[in-house]
Amino acid sequence: MKIAVATTEETSIAQHFGKSTGFMVFEIEDQQIRSREFRTNRHTPHAQGVCRGEEHEHGGHNHGCGGVVGLLHDCAVVLCGGMGGGAAQALTQQGIQPFVLPSGCSAEEAVVRYLQGSIEAVPAGLVACRH
């Protein structure tokens, strides 16, 4: 099983799924981390630098998640600090279960917490962040 963690600098959890610079992807076997790889997010407008600031108009671009969901196609789980309802729905439709965590732990700690069962899934339709 593979678990992706949205990150901004390959170690800490990104507080906004779409603004993540990439994803640390952990391969899990027998409830243990067996390998790690970093996948760069070049798919969302925030990651591309199109969006500046928290609040902005979306007139010249869309916030679709298709490319980033494709980047994570082989993952069963995505962990992040915040996620909009559209991203959660796009992931869920592809069989990828999204989880939102409170800040304050590393990507690896988040995976360990998931494996221990101490993280709850994002409820359907929840908007865990705003832009």
Q: 34: exposed, middle or buried (C-beta count within 10 Å: 0-12, 13-18, 19+)?
A: exposed
Domain annotation covers residue 125: no
| Domain contains 68 | yes
| Euclidean distance between CA atoms 35 and 28, whole angstroms | 7
Tell me the whole-structure pTM to 2 decimals: 0.79
List, for residues 33-84, the tens digit of each pLDDT value: 999 999 998 855 444 444 455 554 444 444 445 577 889 999 999 998 888 8
Residue 131 domain flag: no
Which residue range forms the structural domain that includes residue 58? 2-115
Query: In this structure, is residue 126 part of a structural domain?
Result: no
Higher-pLDDT residue of 131, 107: 107
Q: Please give the pLDDT value at position 124.
A: 47
Say if 11 falls within a structural domain.
Answer: yes
The pLDDT of residue 66 is 55
The answer to the question of residue 56 being in a domain is yes
Collapsing DSSP states into helix, strand and coil, what is residue 110? helix
Count the helix, strand and coil residues of the chain and give each as a percent rounded to the nearest 5.
25, 25, 50
How many CB atoms are closer than 10 A to CB 38?
A: 12
What is the CATH number for 101? 3.30.420.130
Give the number of domains in the chain: 1
120 within domain boundaries: no
pLDDT, position 79: 92
Q: Is residue 128 part of a domain?
A: no
